[in-house]
Amino acid sequence: MNRIVGTGMAVPPCVVDNHLLSRCMNTSDEWIVQRTGIRERRVSPDTYRMLQRLAEAPDKAAFMKSVFADGLDGKIDSSMTVSDLALQASERALENAGLTARDVDCLVVSSTVPDFAYPHPGCVLAGRLALTSTPAICLQQGCAGFVYGLAIADQMMRGGMYRQVLVVGAELLSTIFDYTDAGRDMAVLFADGAGAAVLRAEPGPRGVLSSHLHTDGTTYEGLSGEIWGTSTYPPVSKRKFDEDRMRPRMNGRQVFVQAVRHFKEVVGECLAANGVGIGDVNRFIFHQANMRIIEAVGEGLRIPSDRLYNNVERYGNTAAASVPIALHEAREAGLVKDGDLVLLAAFGTGFSWGATLIRW
């Protein structure tokens, strides 16, 4: 079986609470807490600096437009990239497992917004870990990225290809949102962070029991972003920017309905495949999309609330990073113990969703 033997996480030091967002856009702490459960989130130092300036700006829309057009204070190079967070989380997971990067046979990294359009962030992370021949695979699987990554790593290990794999989810999503009224539906939800886990093949009954993955490709426009995509020619142009096609788009109600439905289905599928019921699972660690989605799934499946680990209140939705961050925190808090049944589940852009059951 393939067991998680180390976890780690990293978030930027800059904390943005709902009150700061309320000074940038027409929203309130009450609205955000009631609809999402989020009280604060971590963002890159660049986003933080921008938000402080936006809060003071008399014309928010004009200021935000100037940032997208010219950068902040005439500077467009980032002070933090997604691989900075991926590296920190990976180093912590490796240390936690008592390993160095060279002990790992493969990296599986998931990220929505990479450092570069190419090579992918798994490659950049490998370089920053000073790895010169370890294969690095990258998934752009949105919020389901870590669950997909774990499943792929587990299957490669079951096939005997690798013995130790580092699985990472890392995001720097705050850098792509419009924090004025125009983008408020998404900007209050998403944030930055990274989480990582080391999977090791070991004899015995502990480890990943099964993974179940799905994608509905017909719904991809429900949560999408064109940014540098080839949906336009050329991929990045002034016109794309002027026509507001750089900004991520979300159909909030569709996401909500589909997320609740598919979370419930895939959890049921995962439990049935292993011949166990809700009551047998010691800890449910769901993608921290927003508290209302998690509560609706929990209520629908009759999951006792003390078996759900949630931290969306402190970090917001960190997409591919949210499951490994929550897993790491739950483990650190002693909420995941040897022999426990732990169920991970996620849903995100695509829509793609999946679940994994682990005997810890």
Catalytic residues: 143, 287, 317
Q: Which residues pair with 357 in a beta bridge?
A: 210, 343
* Among the listed residues 353, 287, 277, the one whose alpha carbon sits nearest the alpha carbon of residue 317: 287
Instruction: Work out whether 81 is an interface residue with ligand ACO (CB under 6 A).
Output: no
Minimum distance of ligand ACO from residue 288's CB (angstroms):
8
Site for ligand ACO in 13-42 (CB under 6 A): 27, 31, 35-36
**Minimum distance, C-beta of residue 349 to ligand ACO, in the bound complex (Å):** 7
CA distances from 260 to 237, 265, 293, 324 (A): 37, 9, 6, 20
317 binds ligand ACO (CB under 6 A): yes
Q: Does 265 bind ligand ACO (CB under 6 A)?
A: no
* Angle between the N-to-C axes of helices 121-128 and 82-97, in degrees from 0 to 180, rounded to the nearest 10: 60
Nearest residue to 344 (alpha-carbon basis) of 299, 284, 266:
284
Work out the burial of residue 268: count CB atoms within 10 Å of its CB; fewer than 13 is exposed, 13-18 middle, 19 or more buried: middle
Q: Which of 223, 260, 266, 270 binds ligand ACO (CB under 6 A)?
A: 223
**Rounded to whole angstroms, how far apart are CA atoms 317 and 319?**
6
Q: Select the residue interacting with ligand ACO from 238, 253, 275, 302 (CB under 6 A).
A: 253
Asked if 292 touches ligand ACO (CB under 6 A), the answer is: yes
252 binds ligand ACO (CB under 6 A): yes
User: What is the longest distance spanned by two Cα atoms in the chain?
Assistant: 63
AA letter at 22: S
Stretch of 2-10, 39-47, 255-263, 294-302 contacting ligand ACO, by CB under 6 A: 255-263
Which DSSP string corresponds to 257-319? HHHHHHHHHHHHHHHHHTT--GGG-SEEEE--S-HHHHHHHHHHHT--GGGB---HHHH-B-G
Minimum CB separation from ligand ACO for residue 148, in Å?
14
Is the backbone of residue 98 left (phi > 0), alpha (psi -120 to 50) or beta?
Answer: left
Instruction: Find the shortest distance in angstroms from Cβ 162 to ligand ACO.
Output: 29
Q: Give the residue closest to ligand ACO by C-beta.
A: 252
Residue 12 structure tokens: 């930027």
Binding test (CB under 6 A) with ligand ACO, winner from 188, 197, 260, 297? 188
Q: Is 289 in the site for ligand ACO (CB under 6 A)?
A: yes
State the minimum distance, in angstroms, from the CB of residue 321 to ligand ACO. Answer: 11
Q: Which of 42, 60, 184, 240 binds ligand ACO (CB under 6 A)?
A: 184
Cα–chain-centroid distance for residue 249?
Answer: 17
What is the C-alpha to C-alpha distance for residues 110 and 225, in angstroms, rounded to an integer?
A: 17
Cα–Cα distance, 353 to 213 (Å, whole number): 6
Stretch that binds ligand ACO, among 8-16, 97-105, 147-155, 181-189 (CB under 6 A): 181-189
Question: Nearer to ligand ACO by C-beta: 96 or 290?
Answer: 290
Which range of residues in 50-58, 150-158, 226-234, 247-255 is near ligand ACO by CB under 6 A?
247-255
By CB under 6 A, residue 290 contacts ligand ACO: yes
Q: How far is the CB of 291 from ligand ACO (least distance, A)?
A: 9
Among residues 29, 91, 103, 185, the one that binds ligand ACO under rule CB under 6 A:
185
Position 347 contacts ligand ACO (CB under 6 A): yes
Q: Which of 273, 336, 330, 263 lies closest to 303 in space, CA to CA?
A: 263
Burial (0-12, 13-18, 19+ Cβ within 10 Å), 62: exposed
Interface ranges with ligand ACO (CB under 6 A): 27, 31, 35-36, 143, 184-185, 188-189, 223, 250, 252-253, 255-256, 259, 287, 289-290, 292-293, 317, 347-348
